[in-house]
Amino acid sequence: MKLGVKASAAGYRLQEFAALGSTNDEAMSRVALGDPGRLWIVADEQSRGRGRFGRQWRSPPGNLYASLLLIDPAPPPLSAQLGFVAGVALASALRKMLGGDGKLKLKWPNDALYDGAKLSGLLLEGVCLPSGLFGCVIGFGVNCQSSPDEAPYPTASLRGIGAASADRETLFAALSDFVVDWLEIWARGENFAAIRAVWLDYAGGIGGPVRVSRNGSQRQGIFRGVDAQGRMLLETADGAVEIIEAGDVALG
pLDDT band at 53 (very low <50, low <70, confident <90, very high): very low
Burial class (CB in 10 A: 0-12, 13-18, 19+), 228: exposed
The answer to whether residues 164 and 232 belong to one domain is no
Mean pLDDT for the chain overall:
92
pLDDT > 70? residue 50: no
Greater confidence, 18 or 217? 18
Tell me, what's the pLDDT at 103? 95
The answer to whether residues 29 and 58 belong to one domain is yes
pLDDT band at 54 (very low <50, low <70, confident <90, very high): low
Q: Report the number of distinct structural domains present in the chain.
A: 2
pLDDT in tens, 148-195: 887 778 999 999 999 988 999 999 999 999 999 999 999 999 999 999
The answer to whether residues 237 and 162 belong to one domain is no
* Residue 55 Cα distances to 23, 122, 151, 208, 246, angstroms: 15, 12, 11, 27, 15
The answer to whether residues 189 and 220 belong to one domain is no
The answer to whether residues 197 and 73 belong to one domain is yes
The answer to whether residues 59 and 17 belong to one domain is yes
Write down which residue in 168, 186, 202 finishes a domain.
Answer: 202
pLDDT band at 133 (very low <50, low <70, confident <90, very high): confident
CA atoms of 78 and 165, how far apart (whole Å): 35
- Find the domain containing 89 and state its range: 5-202
CATH assignment of the domain containing 75: 3.30.930.10
Write down which residue in 202, 225, 240 finishes a domain.
Answer: 202
* Residue 199 Cα distances to 24, 192, 222, 237, 250, angstroms: 24, 10, 18, 26, 18
